[in-house]
Structure 1
Amino acid sequence: MTRLSPAARADASSFLACAAFVALAAFAPQNDWMRAARGEARLGREIRSLETRGYYEALIDANRDPAAADSPPGGWVPFGASGIVEPSPSYLRWRMRPNLDMTWNGVPFRTNSRGYRTPEVAAPKPDGVYRIVFFGSSNTMGHGVGDDEAYPRLMEPWLDRRTDPGVRVELVNLSVSGDSPSRRLARMAEEAAAYQPDWLLCDASVLDPALEEMHLEAVVRAEPRPEIPAVLDYVGRALERSEASPADPPAALRKKLQREAQSLLEESYKGWAEQARELGVPLTVVVIPRADAKLDNPALDQIIHAAIRREGLDALDLGDAFADLEPEEFRVSPWDKHPSARGHRAIFEAFCAAMQARGALPGLDLED
């Protein structure tokens, strides 16, 4: 097991508490939940496996101590310091720079004219194009791998070859490192309609509560605090209930945000579903495996799938994609715990198997 630095252990304990509230709020009576908050959680083993919050902070944020990221080698650059992103005063906090053609930690990284790691597409959408728009975070963006190795890039030609020759399948990847569930929703509300999608995809994983807590801590401390989009009114209510303040010490602020972890996760799924209905476009939640370690998290998995069912969403569960691989095979490195090229191919192969079992995309048949 990798030994965490004191800073990483401190951040990890924060996320353990977050996971405890998320898991136990759904499955334990109130008295059990309160006992869990006092350190008597019955799900301790699973919760201990989610020691990721400090890791992702160090990996994404240029201002974090790199010692918290499992000692990357000299010259290794975190996402926030890479020059890939530029700050934004909006709720999204940053955007990727357009028209990049660079090398980041040894791999090619290109963005299109809209600032996404995806090929250019025409607007308006041409006749004969079936367009898929994918929202997600770092794993789906392809953190640590080359442009053509990320699993969404592998999906496009595979789908195109297996559908009507008179239809061209395009997959537009709008995923950005650090995008929490609420940021995916904000991006969906802001961007999706312009692409005239035929199918929306949105990734999900058990690590999402860590991303949400990290993002909202930054929102609370921002000066001035960014305006919360109307589509995220539930975030405003959660922050109001929590009484989170920029004057709070780090541990106190995180504790306040952790009390809202489950509602924030569930409301994000509700928002995804509402956006899809407003657009009149089918949406599928793509559940992907955690890439930091080979661990099961059944309680958080149940919360995710319960939210999917509650909102009437479709789902592709690719959570077992790494079942036959060891961490050294499916992740980039000990200090970059995102899917490696082999890990992305495993997710892609799981997607192919799931789609072949279905036999169709929404409104478009798949051939054998």
Structure 2
Amino acid sequence: MTRQPLRRLLGAASILLITLIMLEVAVRMWGYAQPHIYDPIYRPYDRTADIPYIHKANLTEARARGLAVINTDSLGLRAKIAGASYGAKQPNEYRIALIGDSYTFGEGVTRTEDTYAQVLEDTLNQRQQAVAVKTFNFGASAYSVKEMVATLQYRTPDIQPDFVAMAIITSDFNLARTPRIDEEGYLVDQKLHRFSPPGSMIRRALRHIHLIYVLREIGVRWAFPSPDIGEMIVRGETPETYEYVRQFKKLAEERGLPYVMVLLPRMRTKDWGAVSDQLTRDRIPYLDLSSLKSEFTEEQYRASRFDPHPSAAVHRRIGEALADYVRHQPGFVR
């Protein structure tokens, strides 16, 4: 009699195991998890707690989120040349610091040459020869406006920028979106951090299971719904965290830095409403690029089937539009 319950238990366990294996195979064939798999490319930033992580320096052909293959320079910024270093700014050099989240970093864009940061640099250099323009891409996945202000304060002085752009989407006003970093260099969602299994070997093994990424997405959406900042803005409300934008303005002006807020286009997101109105009242220069999304179908806009980040084509239009803006700034030599 005691063997029958054991057989039932083993039978149920076998069915569950076979089901999970079949689901894993199906998810791998589906391709959903691919944009979420990446190398341990992050490291803690030790100069302030307001920046929990940056990219590791001198990476060569590392896999980043969104199927991007990246190099990083000596500052840990995405760059065409791995390990590139920069001395003091030269008299004929014009440096632009781009601060943002995964959109600015170029998540979903395989080649660095196709990111809007690089398109901006190339376009400005093609259209004039008076100065050599160099862009510095301080974008990092899931940064909020808080980390962006801290980046301006702590990281940009190293490059002595002539112009600074803070590029945002509506989600950047949600401070809870910024994850933590583990000891290996992976990001861990704040909501799921307490559920993270102990031991790096277990976590490393789980990262190779594609089904985990589907279950995680379902779990986060169901158990930890995020506030819809976009809808709040459309209703005419200004997020409390807009105060970080004012801090950005104050810090840039204290340093005598020309700056602009770039309102990036995002598919399925309405206009910036209250935010653009508030920027106008606060006399903060901004460039609203949200209309660029109308130039693309949803398929053309998306980096890939399962990645809603902007594609290389969208990045090109952002870079070109930003180049036109910079060229007409008083401090830019044409």
TM-score range, shorter-chain basis?
0.5 to 0.7
Residue among 238, 252, 276 paired with 1:305:
276
Contact 1:91 1:219 in 2 (8 A): no
* Match status 1:124 vs 2:124: no
Q: Matched residues in 2 for 1:74 and 1:323: separation? A: 26
Q: Matched residues in 2 for 1:221 and 1:93: separation? A: 16
Q: 2:218 aligns to what?
A: none
Residue among 24, 34, 48 paired with 1:76:
34
| Cα distance change of structure 1 residues 72 and 141 upon mapping to structure 2, 3 Å threshold | farther
Deviation for aligned residue 1:172: 1.1
| Cα distance change of structure 1 residues 297 and 100 upon mapping to structure 2, 3 Å threshold | same
* Match status 1:289 vs 2:260: no
Q: Unpaired runs of 5+ in structure 1?
A: 1-65, 224-249
Q: Which amino acid aligns with 2:133?
A: V
* Match status 1:279 vs 2:242: no
The secondary structure found in structure 2 opposite 1:203 is strand
* Match status 1:341 vs 2:304: no
Contact 2:119 2:320 in 1 (8 A): no
- Number of equivalenced pairs: 260
Deviation for aligned residue 1:106: 5.0
* Match status 1:108 vs 2:69: yes
Q: 1:60 aligns to what?
A: none
Deviation for aligned residue 1:304: 1.9
Alignment of 1:238-253 (within 5 A): none
Q: 1:364 aligns to what?
A: 332
Q: 2:12 aligns to what?
A: none
Residue among 226, 239, 246 paired with 1:270:
246
Q: 2:186 aligns to what?
A: none
Deviation for aligned residue 1:86: 2.7
| Cα distance change of structure 1 residues 215 and 115 upon mapping to structure 2, 3 Å threshold | same
Q: Residue deviations 1:189-211, cap 9 Å, x none?
A: 1112221111111102223234x
Q: Which amino acid aligns with 2:55?
A: M
Alignment of 1:1-368 (within 5 A): 73=31, 76=34, 78=36, 81-88=38-45, 90-104=49-63, 107-118=68-79, 120=84, 122-145=86-109, 146-163=111-128, 165-210=129-174, 212-215=175-178, 262-290=238-266, 293=267, 295-298=268-271, 301-352=272-323, 354-355=324-325, 360-366=328-334
Q: How much identity, in percent, do the aligned residues show?
A: 23
Contact 1:206 1:297 in 2 (8 A): no
The secondary structure found in structure 1 opposite 2:310 is coil
TM-score, normalising length: structure 2: 0.67
Q: Which amino acid aligns with 2:173?
A: P
Q: Matched residues in 2 for 1:320 and 1:263: separation? A: 22
Deviation for aligned residue 1:343: 1.8
TM-score, normalising length: structure 1: 0.62
The secondary structure found in structure 2 opposite 1:265 is helix
Q: Matched residues in 2 for 1:91 and 1:143: separation? A: 22
The secondary structure found in structure 2 opposite 1:304 is helix
Q: Residue deviations 1:27-81, cap 9 Å, x none?
A: xxxxxxxxxxxxxxxxxxxxxxxxxxxxxxxxxxxxxxx9xx9x961762526x5
| Cα distance change of structure 1 residues 157 and 208 upon mapping to structure 2, 3 Å threshold | same
Q: Which amino acid aligns with 2:304?
A: S
Q: Matched residues in 1 for 2:119 and 2:157: separation? A: 24
The secondary structure found in structure 1 opposite 2:304 is coil
Stretch of structure 1 that moved more, 270-279 or 81-90: 81-90
Q: Which amino acid aligns with 1:132?
A: I
Q: Which amino acid aligns with 2:282?
A: E
The secondary structure found in structure 1 opposite 2:249 is helix
Q: Matched residues in 2 for 1:220 and 1:328: separation? A: 30
Deviation for aligned residue 1:179: 0.9
Name the larger-Rg structure: 2
The secondary structure found in structure 2 opposite 1:337 is strand
The secondary structure found in structure 2 opposite 1:155 is helix
Q: Matched residues in 1 for 2:305 and 2:53: separation? A: 26
Q: Residue deviations 1:300-322, cap 9 Å, x none?
A: x1222133223322111111112
